[in-house]
Amino acid sequence: MTSGTTIPTRPVSTTGERTYNFSAGPAILPEPVLKQAQQDLWDIDGSGIGILEHSHRGPVVDRVFEEAKADCRKVAGLGDDYEILFLQGGATMQFAMLPMAFLTPEATADYPDTGVWTTKAIKEAKRFGNVNVAFDGSEHNYDHTPADDEMKLTDGAAYLHYCSNNTIYGTRYGQPPSTTAPLVCDASSEMFSRPWPFDRHAMIYAGAQKNLGPAGVTLIIIRKDFLEKANTDVPTMLNYRKLAESDSRLNTPPVFGVYVMGQVFRWILNQGGLEAVQQKNDAKAKLIYDAIDGSGGFYRGVARSDCRSTMNVTFRTPSEELDKKFIAEAKERSMDGLKGHRDAGGLRASIYNAFPQKGCEELVKFMGEFAARAK
Ligand SMILES: Cc1ncc(COP(=O)(O)O)c(C=O)c1O
Protein backbone atom coordinates (compact mmCIF):
# COMPACT_ATOMS: atom_id res chain seq x y z
CA MET A 1 0.00 0.00 0.00
CA THR A 2 1.31 3.50 -0.80
CA SER A 3 -0.31 6.83 -0.12
CA GLY A 4 0.02 10.57 -0.54
CA THR A 5 1.45 13.04 -2.95
CA THR A 6 5.01 14.38 -2.97
CA ILE A 7 6.23 17.41 -1.01
CA PRO A 8 8.73 19.93 -2.39
CA THR A 9 12.30 18.69 -1.90
CA ARG A 10 14.88 20.59 0.16
CA PRO A 11 18.39 21.20 -1.18
CA VAL A 12 20.90 18.36 -0.71
CA SER A 13 24.69 18.41 -0.84
CA THR A 14 25.78 18.15 -4.48
CA THR A 15 28.71 15.83 -3.71
CA GLY A 16 26.85 13.50 -1.38
CA GLU A 17 29.66 14.09 1.14
CA ARG A 18 28.74 14.95 4.71
CA THR A 19 30.19 17.98 6.48
CA TYR A 20 32.41 17.44 9.52
CA ASN A 21 29.97 18.42 12.24
CA PHE A 22 31.74 19.78 15.32
CA SER A 23 28.48 20.97 16.88
CA ALA A 24 28.10 20.64 20.65
CA GLY A 25 24.59 19.29 20.26
CA PRO A 26 22.41 18.23 18.65
CA ALA A 27 25.46 16.52 17.27
CA ILE A 28 26.84 13.90 14.96
CA LEU A 29 25.39 10.38 15.18
CA PRO A 30 27.03 7.13 14.04
CA GLU A 31 26.56 6.51 10.31
CA PRO A 32 25.48 2.85 10.70
CA VAL A 33 22.79 4.02 13.14
CA LEU A 34 21.51 6.66 10.73
CA LYS A 35 21.44 4.14 7.88
CA GLN A 36 19.53 1.59 9.99
CA ALA A 37 17.13 4.33 11.08
CA GLN A 38 16.47 5.26 7.44
CA GLN A 39 15.39 1.70 6.81
CA ASP A 40 13.37 1.37 10.01
CA LEU A 41 11.55 4.64 9.34
CA TRP A 42 9.96 2.85 6.43
CA ASP A 43 9.44 -0.61 7.90
CA ILE A 44 10.73 -1.97 11.19
CA ASP A 45 10.98 -5.69 11.97
CA GLY A 46 9.17 -6.54 8.72
CA SER A 47 5.98 -5.18 10.26
CA GLY A 48 5.17 -3.04 7.24
CA ILE A 49 5.02 -0.04 9.60
CA GLY A 50 7.81 2.44 10.33
CA ILE A 51 9.17 3.17 13.81
CA LEU A 52 7.54 6.62 13.86
CA GLU A 53 4.15 5.09 13.21
CA HIS A 54 3.98 2.24 15.71
CA SER A 55 1.78 2.38 18.81
CA HIS A 56 3.83 2.90 21.93
CA ARG A 57 1.93 0.03 23.55
CA GLY A 58 2.49 -2.53 20.79
CA PRO A 59 4.99 -5.40 20.61
CA VAL A 60 7.48 -3.63 18.33
CA VAL A 61 7.89 -0.73 20.74
CA ASP A 62 7.95 -3.17 23.69
CA ARG A 63 10.92 -4.86 22.02
CA VAL A 64 12.65 -1.53 21.29
CA PHE A 65 12.35 -0.48 24.95
CA GLU A 66 13.40 -3.87 26.35
CA GLU A 67 16.47 -4.09 24.13
CA ALA A 68 17.50 -0.49 24.76
CA LYS A 69 17.32 -1.02 28.53
CA ALA A 70 19.21 -4.32 28.41
CA ASP A 71 21.93 -2.89 26.16
CA CYS A 72 22.20 0.25 28.29
CA ARG A 73 22.85 -1.94 31.37
CA LYS A 74 25.43 -3.93 29.39
CA VAL A 75 27.30 -0.80 28.26
CA ALA A 76 27.28 0.61 31.79
CA GLY A 77 28.12 -2.74 33.41
CA LEU A 78 25.09 -2.48 35.67
CA GLY A 79 22.60 -5.08 36.84
CA ASP A 80 18.92 -5.16 37.66
CA ASP A 81 19.43 -3.11 40.79
CA TYR A 82 19.33 -0.08 38.46
CA GLU A 83 16.20 1.14 36.70
CA ILE A 84 16.53 2.68 33.22
CA LEU A 85 14.14 5.47 32.32
CA PHE A 86 13.61 7.41 29.10
CA LEU A 87 12.10 10.75 29.99
CA GLN A 88 11.09 14.02 28.36
CA GLY A 89 11.94 17.62 29.21
CA GLY A 90 15.65 17.30 28.51
CA ALA A 91 18.47 17.25 31.03
CA THR A 92 17.13 20.62 32.18
CA MET A 93 13.99 18.95 33.52
CA GLN A 94 16.21 16.80 35.73
CA PHE A 95 17.62 19.97 37.32
CA ALA A 96 14.16 20.41 38.93
CA MET A 97 12.86 16.86 39.02
CA LEU A 98 15.80 15.58 41.08
CA PRO A 99 15.45 18.05 44.00
CA MET A 100 11.66 17.85 43.83
CA ALA A 101 11.99 14.13 44.53
CA PHE A 102 15.01 13.99 46.83
CA LEU A 103 15.43 17.34 48.59
CA THR A 104 13.27 18.74 51.39
CA PRO A 105 13.21 22.21 53.00
CA GLU A 106 15.06 20.78 56.03
CA ALA A 107 17.76 19.00 54.04
CA THR A 108 20.86 20.15 52.15
CA ALA A 109 22.30 18.89 48.87
CA ASP A 110 25.90 19.44 47.76
CA TYR A 111 26.40 21.03 44.34
CA PRO A 112 29.91 21.79 43.07
CA ASP A 113 29.39 24.59 40.53
CA THR A 114 31.54 23.97 37.46
CA GLY A 115 29.72 26.24 35.01
CA VAL A 116 26.46 27.16 33.32
CA TRP A 117 24.72 23.78 33.60
CA THR A 118 25.43 23.25 37.28
CA THR A 119 24.56 26.90 37.97
CA LYS A 120 21.15 26.24 36.42
CA ALA A 121 20.77 23.03 38.43
CA ILE A 122 21.58 24.92 41.65
CA LYS A 123 18.95 27.55 40.89
CA GLU A 124 16.27 24.89 40.50
CA ALA A 125 17.34 22.94 43.59
CA LYS A 126 17.03 26.05 45.76
CA ARG A 127 13.27 26.01 45.14
CA PHE A 128 12.99 22.78 47.12
CA GLY A 129 15.61 22.85 49.88
CA ASN A 130 19.05 24.01 50.93
CA VAL A 131 21.93 23.99 48.53
CA ASN A 132 25.55 23.96 49.56
CA VAL A 133 27.66 25.23 46.67
CA ALA A 134 30.50 22.86 47.48
CA PHE A 135 32.90 24.49 45.01
CA ASP A 136 32.58 27.81 43.21
CA GLY A 137 34.24 27.48 39.81
CA SER A 138 33.40 31.07 38.84
CA GLU A 139 36.44 32.15 40.89
CA HIS A 140 38.64 30.51 38.22
CA ASN A 141 36.52 31.21 35.11
CA TYR A 142 35.42 27.58 35.30
CA ASP A 143 38.78 26.44 33.97
CA HIS A 144 38.83 23.25 36.03
CA THR A 145 36.80 20.75 37.98
CA PRO A 146 37.52 20.50 41.70
CA ALA A 147 39.83 18.03 43.38
CA ASP A 148 38.25 16.48 46.47
CA ASP A 149 40.20 18.79 48.79
CA GLU A 150 38.79 21.87 47.01
CA MET A 151 35.25 20.93 47.98
CA LYS A 152 33.38 21.72 51.17
CA LEU A 153 30.83 18.99 51.70
CA THR A 154 27.84 18.77 54.04
CA ASP A 155 27.58 16.04 56.65
CA GLY A 156 24.49 13.98 55.88
CA ALA A 157 23.78 15.69 52.53
CA ALA A 158 20.65 14.48 50.74
CA TYR A 159 22.86 13.87 47.68
CA LEU A 160 25.79 15.35 45.78
CA HIS A 161 25.06 16.53 42.25
CA TYR A 162 27.91 17.13 39.78
CA CYS A 163 28.37 17.48 36.03
CA SER A 164 31.05 15.08 34.80
CA ASN A 165 31.82 16.99 31.59
CA ASN A 166 31.27 20.71 31.21
CA THR A 167 30.22 21.19 27.61
CA ILE A 168 30.79 24.93 27.51
CA TYR A 169 34.24 25.19 29.09
CA GLY A 170 35.59 21.82 27.96
CA THR A 171 36.50 20.60 31.44
CA ARG A 172 35.81 17.21 32.95
CA TYR A 173 36.32 15.23 36.13
CA GLY A 174 38.99 12.52 36.14
CA GLN A 175 36.99 10.63 38.78
CA PRO A 176 33.62 11.28 40.42
CA PRO A 177 33.83 13.36 43.61
CA SER A 178 34.32 11.37 46.81
CA THR A 179 31.32 11.57 49.09
CA THR A 180 29.27 9.39 51.41
CA ALA A 181 26.07 11.04 50.12
CA PRO A 182 24.16 9.50 47.20
CA LEU A 183 26.02 10.58 44.06
CA VAL A 184 24.10 12.08 41.12
CA CYS A 185 25.75 12.90 37.81
CA ASP A 186 24.74 15.02 34.84
CA ALA A 187 26.71 13.23 32.13
CA SER A 188 24.86 14.82 29.20
CA SER A 189 27.86 15.74 27.09
CA GLU A 190 29.96 12.65 27.64
CA MET A 191 27.58 9.79 28.37
CA PHE A 192 29.24 6.51 27.42
CA SER A 193 32.40 8.12 26.08
CA ARG A 194 34.68 6.41 28.63
CA PRO A 195 34.46 3.79 31.36
CA TRP A 196 33.00 5.44 34.44
CA PRO A 197 32.19 3.98 37.85
CA PHE A 198 28.46 4.07 37.23
CA ASP A 199 27.91 1.69 40.13
CA ARG A 200 29.07 4.34 42.58
CA HIS A 201 26.11 6.48 41.58
CA ALA A 202 22.57 6.72 42.86
CA MET A 203 21.55 8.33 39.59
CA ILE A 204 23.12 9.34 36.27
CA TYR A 205 21.27 11.28 33.62
CA ALA A 206 22.01 12.56 30.14
CA GLY A 207 20.11 14.47 27.48
CA ALA A 208 20.46 12.32 24.37
CA GLN A 209 21.39 14.91 21.79
CA LYS A 210 25.17 14.75 22.18
CA ASN A 211 26.39 11.20 22.48
CA LEU A 212 23.23 9.09 22.47
CA GLY A 213 20.62 10.12 19.95
CA PRO A 214 18.17 12.83 18.92
CA ALA A 215 16.94 15.66 21.14
CA GLY A 216 13.70 14.95 22.98
CA VAL A 217 14.68 12.04 25.20
CA THR A 218 16.75 11.94 28.38
CA LEU A 219 18.37 8.80 29.73
CA ILE A 220 18.05 8.25 33.48
CA ILE A 221 19.87 5.43 35.24
CA ILE A 222 18.69 5.24 38.83
CA ARG A 223 19.51 2.76 41.60
CA LYS A 224 16.36 1.08 42.85
CA ASP A 225 17.00 1.71 46.55
CA PHE A 226 17.40 5.44 45.79
CA LEU A 227 14.30 5.41 43.60
CA GLU A 228 12.31 3.99 46.51
CA LYS A 229 13.09 7.12 48.52
CA ALA A 230 11.71 9.51 45.89
CA ASN A 231 8.96 11.85 47.02
CA THR A 232 5.76 10.75 45.30
CA ASP A 233 3.73 13.81 46.25
CA VAL A 234 4.61 15.50 42.96
CA PRO A 235 2.87 15.92 39.60
CA THR A 236 2.43 12.52 37.98
CA MET A 237 4.69 13.22 35.01
CA LEU A 238 7.52 14.19 37.40
CA ASN A 239 7.09 11.13 39.60
CA TYR A 240 10.14 8.89 39.12
CA ARG A 241 8.41 5.94 40.77
CA LYS A 242 5.30 6.14 38.63
CA LEU A 243 7.46 6.59 35.56
CA ALA A 244 9.47 3.49 36.48
CA GLU A 245 6.33 1.44 37.17
CA SER A 246 4.96 2.37 33.74
CA ASP A 247 8.25 1.59 31.94
CA SER A 248 8.58 5.32 31.04
CA ARG A 249 5.20 5.13 29.32
CA LEU A 250 2.81 7.09 31.51
CA ASN A 251 1.93 8.99 28.37
CA THR A 252 3.14 8.75 24.77
CA PRO A 253 6.92 8.55 25.11
CA PRO A 254 9.56 9.80 22.64
CA VAL A 255 9.67 6.42 20.90
CA PHE A 256 11.99 7.44 18.09
CA GLY A 257 14.57 8.83 20.52
CA VAL A 258 14.51 5.62 22.54
CA TYR A 259 14.86 3.60 19.33
CA VAL A 260 17.93 5.60 18.20
CA MET A 261 19.48 5.40 21.66
CA GLY A 262 19.05 1.64 21.56
CA GLN A 263 20.87 1.51 18.23
CA VAL A 264 23.67 3.67 19.64
CA PHE A 265 24.06 1.33 22.65
CA ARG A 266 24.36 -1.60 20.24
CA TRP A 267 26.90 0.32 18.14
CA ILE A 268 28.98 0.89 21.29
CA LEU A 269 28.78 -2.79 22.26
CA ASN A 270 29.74 -3.87 18.74
CA GLN A 271 32.89 -1.80 18.97
CA GLY A 272 33.95 -3.57 22.15
CA GLY A 273 32.31 -1.36 24.76
CA LEU A 274 33.52 1.66 26.65
CA GLU A 275 37.24 0.80 26.78
CA ALA A 276 37.36 0.65 22.98
CA VAL A 277 35.32 3.84 22.66
CA GLN A 278 37.61 5.62 25.11
CA GLN A 279 40.75 4.63 23.19
CA LYS A 280 39.36 6.20 20.04
CA ASN A 281 38.20 9.31 21.87
CA ASP A 282 41.58 9.76 23.59
CA ALA A 283 43.40 9.48 20.26
CA LYS A 284 41.10 12.02 18.57
CA ALA A 285 41.33 14.55 21.38
CA LYS A 286 45.11 14.18 21.62
CA LEU A 287 45.48 15.21 17.97
CA ILE A 288 43.77 18.54 18.63
CA TYR A 289 45.30 19.23 22.04
CA ASP A 290 48.76 18.49 20.59
CA ALA A 291 48.05 21.01 17.84
CA ILE A 292 47.06 23.62 20.44
CA ASP A 293 50.09 22.95 22.65
CA GLY A 294 52.47 22.79 19.68
CA SER A 295 51.31 26.07 18.12
CA GLY A 296 53.89 28.22 19.91
CA GLY A 297 51.14 30.02 21.82
CA PHE A 298 49.01 30.89 18.77
CA TYR A 299 46.20 28.68 20.05
CA ARG A 300 45.41 28.69 23.76
CA GLY A 301 43.35 26.04 25.49
CA VAL A 302 40.52 27.27 27.73
CA ALA A 303 40.48 24.33 30.17
CA ARG A 304 43.30 23.66 32.60
CA SER A 305 45.32 20.88 31.01
CA ASP A 306 44.71 18.28 33.75
CA CYS A 307 40.92 18.67 33.32
CA ARG A 308 40.66 18.66 29.55
CA SER A 309 37.56 17.10 28.07
CA THR A 310 37.90 14.59 25.26
CA MET A 311 34.43 15.55 24.01
CA ASN A 312 34.52 19.37 23.87
CA VAL A 313 37.90 20.86 23.00
CA THR A 314 37.83 24.57 23.80
CA PHE A 315 40.47 26.97 22.55
CA ARG A 316 41.15 30.46 21.23
CA THR A 317 43.24 32.21 18.61
CA PRO A 318 45.00 35.45 19.64
CA SER A 319 41.90 37.60 18.92
CA GLU A 320 38.13 37.48 18.50
CA GLU A 321 38.59 38.66 14.94
CA LEU A 322 40.82 35.70 14.15
CA ASP A 323 38.36 33.37 15.89
CA LYS A 324 35.65 34.61 13.50
CA LYS A 325 37.94 34.21 10.49
CA PHE A 326 38.86 30.71 11.64
CA ILE A 327 35.20 29.70 11.86
CA ALA A 328 34.36 31.15 8.43
CA GLU A 329 37.34 29.56 6.67
CA ALA A 330 36.78 26.21 8.39
CA LYS A 331 33.21 26.25 7.12
CA GLU A 332 34.46 26.70 3.56
CA ARG A 333 36.40 23.50 4.13
CA SER A 334 33.30 21.59 5.24
CA MET A 335 33.99 21.90 8.96
CA ASP A 336 30.97 23.27 10.78
CA GLY A 337 29.97 24.07 14.37
CA LEU A 338 33.33 25.35 15.65
CA LYS A 339 32.04 28.51 17.31
CA GLY A 340 32.46 28.48 21.08
CA HIS A 341 29.42 28.80 23.35
CA ARG A 342 28.31 32.40 23.83
CA ASP A 343 29.28 32.27 27.53
CA ALA A 344 32.83 31.09 26.90
CA GLY A 345 33.56 32.59 23.48
CA GLY A 346 36.44 31.39 21.29
CA LEU A 347 36.33 28.08 19.52
CA ARG A 348 35.04 24.67 20.44
CA ALA A 349 35.49 21.40 18.61
CA SER A 350 32.96 18.90 19.89
CA ILE A 351 34.19 15.46 18.94
CA TYR A 352 31.66 13.03 20.39
CA ASN A 353 31.86 9.24 20.04
CA ALA A 354 30.56 9.25 16.47
CA PHE A 355 32.95 11.95 15.25
CA PRO A 356 35.53 10.41 12.89
CA GLN A 357 39.29 10.60 13.49
CA LYS A 358 39.69 11.81 9.89
CA GLY A 359 37.72 14.95 10.81
CA CYS A 360 40.12 15.68 13.67
CA GLU A 361 43.06 15.21 11.30
CA GLU A 362 41.49 17.65 8.83
CA LEU A 363 40.95 20.19 11.61
CA VAL A 364 44.55 19.87 12.81
CA LYS A 365 45.82 20.36 9.25
CA PHE A 366 43.70 23.47 8.90
CA MET A 367 44.79 24.79 12.31
CA GLY A 368 48.44 24.55 11.21
CA GLU A 369 47.82 26.33 7.91
CA PHE A 370 45.68 29.02 9.51
CA ALA A 371 48.25 29.79 12.19
CA ALA A 372 51.08 29.93 9.64
CA ARG A 373 49.13 32.44 7.55
CA ALA A 374 48.06 34.58 10.49
CA LYS A 375 51.40 34.74 12.31
C1 LIG B 1 26.11 19.18 30.64
C2 LIG B 1 24.75 19.60 30.18
N3 LIG B 1 23.71 19.50 31.01
C4 LIG B 1 22.47 19.88 30.65
C5 LIG B 1 22.23 20.38 29.39
C6 LIG B 1 20.81 20.78 29.02
O7 LIG B 1 20.30 19.78 28.22
P8 LIG B 1 18.82 19.85 27.59
O9 LIG B 1 18.87 20.81 26.47
O10 LIG B 1 18.58 18.42 27.18
O11 LIG B 1 17.89 20.27 28.66
C12 LIG B 1 23.28 20.49 28.48
C13 LIG B 1 23.02 21.03 27.13
O14 LIG B 1 23.91 21.34 26.37
C15 LIG B 1 24.56 20.10 28.89
O16 LIG B 1 25.61 20.21 28.05
What atom in ligand 1 is closest to the CA of residue 120? 4
Active-site positions read: 117, 186, 210
Residues of the chain with pLDDT under 50: none
Measured distance CA(330)–CA(322) in Å, rounded: 12
Which residue has its alpha carbon closest to ligand 1 atom 10? 90
What are the backbone dihedrals phi and psi of residue 301, each rounded to the nearest 5 degrees, phi first? -75, 145
What CATH topology corresponds to 39-270? Aspartate Aminotransferase; domain 2 (3.40.640)
Q: What is the pLDDT of residue 17?
A: 82
Q: What is the pLDDT of residue 343?
A: 86
Q: Measure 44 CA to ligand 1 centroid, in angstroms.
A: 30
Q: In one letter, which amino acid is 43?
A: D
Mutate to test the pocket of ligand 1, among 88, 92, 311 (most ligand atoms within 8 A of CB): 92
Q: Measure 25 CA to ligand 1 centroid, in angstroms.
A: 9
Q: Where are the domains of the chain?
A: 39-270, 273-374
Q: What is the pLDDT of residue 3?
A: 66
Measured distance CA(30)–CA(45) in Å, rounded: 21
Whether this prediction's pTM lies above 0.85 is answered by yes
Q: In one letter, which amino acid is 69?
A: K
Which CATH entry fits the domain spanning 273-374: 3.40.190.10, 3.30.450.40, 2.140.10.10, 3.90.1150.10? Answer: 3.90.1150.10
What atom in ligand 1 is closest to the CA of residue 89? 11
